Chains A and B, each alone.
Chain A
Amino acid sequence: MARFLAGRLLMGLLAILATTVAVTLLIHLVPGDPVQIMYAQSQGTTPEQLAEMRHMLGLDRPILEQWLRFVLHLLHGDLGVTIRGQQPVAQLILQRLPNTLALAAASMAIATAIGLPVGFAAAWWRGRWADTALMTVAIAGVSVPHFWLGLILMSVFAVQLEWLPVGGTGWAGLVLPAATLGLSNAAIVARMTRSAMIEVMSQDFVRTAYAKGLLRALVLRRHVLRAGLVPVVTMMAMQFAYMMGGAIVVENIFAWNGIGRLAIEAIFQRDYPVIQGFILVFATTVITVSILLDLLYAVLDPRIRVRG
């Protein structure tokens, strides 16, 4: 197990290192000179000032040196400063990361609470009218854009009923954006759960369990769920990681101060240090979730541990 864990951690570190190379190159690959953008609104900027700023950002150094400096600074928790406003990027991301984590966790909780039972029920009543009805709702849920759903929820629960605030931070402000994201993801979880359960229900070991005379509820709980939820948990974990960056639209609608909003603002403003920081945090989250998933598989299925 220790060897397996060490292997996964090493792979994770290499992936993060590769991400640092990518974000170092990013600044040179995308169109538009960051220094020129920084001074675009300045009157009478001299070439000396532009050169000085390039030097300050380290853009005049060889790419290898730029990468080494980036990694070195990263090890000290330094992601540079924003092009506009000169604020520390790490501080900005850390300030917003809890909000994004809270939104992702709350929406995942909603998605799980709705999606799992619905998917399971649809599998249980496979082919009957209940299955058709539940899956029709799920397809509709997947198809509805976050933007539209968010505005509808806001209109009903904030403007008409006045039960919840239209946006902002704090517990009450979390409900609507979490519900918007959670309901869409619940539909995905439900569909995934249904397919996984149906597949497992047709396996030999389930038939054997029935043949042994076990009660249907016990078979489902002990055998079907245990095997069927592995792919569902995988998908949910990846959805969680995706929500770290994919909640941009919802964060914008509800003025939720997360890193997705920070990223979109930075992309529009070509604020490269912020974009670099966001990519790094996003990649690290996805990699960390992948490692945790690998470990979870290893716990659930010893064959994976042996192969790893």
Chain B
Amino acid sequence: MFSVLKNLFLRSVVVALPIATAAVPPAVAKDIVWARYGDIDTLDPHRATSTLSLQVWSLIYDTLLATDADGKPVPNIARSWTVSEDGTEYTFKLADGVKCHDGAQLTAEDVKYTVDRAFDAKNPSVTKASWGPIESATVVDPLTITLKLKTPFVAMVPFLADSFSSILCRGNATVGGFGTSAAIGSGPWKLVSWTKGDRIVLAKNPDYRNLGKLAENKGPPYMDRLVITTVPEPQARLAGLRTGVIQVAEPPIDDVPDLQKSKSLNIVVAQNTGQNVFWEFAVHRPPFNDERARKAVAYATDAQAAIDLVYGDLSLREHCPISRGVFGNDQDFCARHGQDHDPAKAIALLKELGYGPDRPLEVTMLVWTGGNREKLAEVFQSQLAEAAIKAKIEIMDIGTMNARVRQENEKPTGIGSMDMMTWSWYDPDILFALWHTPGAYRGFTSPELDAMLDKTRVLADPAARKAAVQDVMAYLLDHAIHVPLYTPGWEWVFAVRPDVQGFHVAPFVYPIFNDVKF
């Protein structure tokens, strides 16, 4: 028996040895290591919408336009652009000498390839609608491209500054494994490898020229490699930061005040994230088909107290359906239309509907897991309970929640459903995606709201567009369709080792590593 056991033991060691040594090699000493709680969905910018994916695309691919510190579009690969008088034709002049990671010159053909791919009849981009009503992409000459639209669409310009519109080099069509093992862009970092769920290894693009991105460095990044690892456990990320294995990571939110006090790590809080966390409701069945029930939830919610308790000063109360930094945001205007915390009004409205302490309104509250949102949901749950709203919390992954919200809107019966939804966008066109018929989740829509939303897409004059956006916001707030809670809310706090210089975060939570040195 001893020999059997000895054999078993030795064999297990012999099996384990080559296996463990064959595992992916750890990051080398001078890599920048950025640890995040999760991984990207894909390297193909037409197949996902998660912030985790967008952040990585922004490092590999470049975009026609870029955003300045206030979130406004500025030239990038496209050095200039003109718009036809009727607003249906955009012509972009591209910079000369931009190189793709495969060595090819980036030309108008690459832009056409990207646009045509996004509008592919069989398998269009998941954000096809945000590109706008593009009819055709025409190559005028190697450095000039014209996009023809069916109808005017002013939100296209900011869209072209976002990583959803990443320019894909034509080499991706033939490279094999595009999206999973290959990604050819012209951004500051080149893909070396992606081990799903574990790490993405990027090497600096020596040919990179920064034409408009928010980095002081106008050439290639200073560091040779950037390793983006997945470390789901916040305390493990913090331990990695403390030991120097990790340079940048999202810290455990609860530890941030202590870290700020001790100054052992630098805390960088992203500004102008465009993130909006809000209540929305399943409106095609009782009780939330009645505006009074929705308003009761809004009045019963003390968002300021909740975020003070859970996030301290890391998040702000948001009164608008579009967040700070997005065109049209006006806190005072929105506060006048929204429902501020007033439990007495909530109780009165519920009483009208026949609910009270003896017959509480029972609802399901769907919440996206992570970022301390579970704690926040519990605070909201107790606030709602004070107004006789009994909310059952259900926590889930964001992809599942998106599907579930749509399902709840399509269910004609069942108990009321509300959800703490989270969206991030760079333009008020987010409201079109959410609330224009048929609606992102098949929720509230109406012909009058559709007409107002249509106006926000075509008005080129900023003042006129702002007024149209405010009309939409007033409608959504007055009817408690979209009840804003706070901003930002996810992946917006970064802990950075003190020896790391030059790390910063561009608007809409795009970390910039071009200037990083340590």
A residues in contact (CB < 8 Å) with B? 32-33, 36-37, 39-44, 52, 84-87, 92, 95-96, 98-99, 101-102, 105-106, 108-109, 112-113, 116, 151, 154-155, 158-159, 162, 165-174, 221, 225-226, 229, 233, 252-255, 257, 261-262, 265, 268-270, 296, 300
Contact = CB atoms under 8 A, between A and B. Distances in A.
B141 interface: no
A279 to B, nearest CB: 18
Nearest to A258: B197
| A contacts with B: majority SS | helix
The listed residue with most A CB atoms (<10 A of its CB), out of B22, B49, B239, B438, is B239
Given A166-B236, A173-B26, A268-B397, A40 B48 contact: no
Contact of A86 (B9, B180, B433): B180
Contacts of B304: none
Contacts, number: 185
B129 interface: yes
20 contacts: A37-B400, A39-B126, A43-B130, A44-B128, A86-B179, A92-B196, A96-B197, A98-B19, A99-B20, A102-B15, A106-B12, A106-B16, A151-B235, A159-B242, A165-B243, A166-B239, A170-B25, A174-B16, A255-B198, A262-B197
B29 interface: no
A255 B227 CA distance: 14
Contacts of B41: 84-85
B248 interface: no
Q: Give me the 4 closest cross-chain CB pairs, A-B, nearest first.
A: A40-B402, A169-B23, A43-B129, A268-B397
Interface string B229-251: 11111011001101101000000
Interface residues of B, number: 65
Contact of B1 (A106, A112, A158, A226): A226
Contact of A252 (B16, B50, B196, B232): B232
Contact of B403 (A37, A171, A226): A37
B42 interface: yes
B434 to A, nearest CB: 10
A42 B46 CA distance: 10
B403 A33 contact: yes
B21 A36 contact: no
A109 B196 CA distance: 28
Contacts of A166: 236, 239-240, 243, 245
Contact of B404 (A32, A41, A226, A262): A32
A27 B215 CA distance: 47
B399 interface: yes
Contact of A159 (B23, B195, B239, B440): B239
A43 B440 contact: yes
A106 B9 CA distance: 10
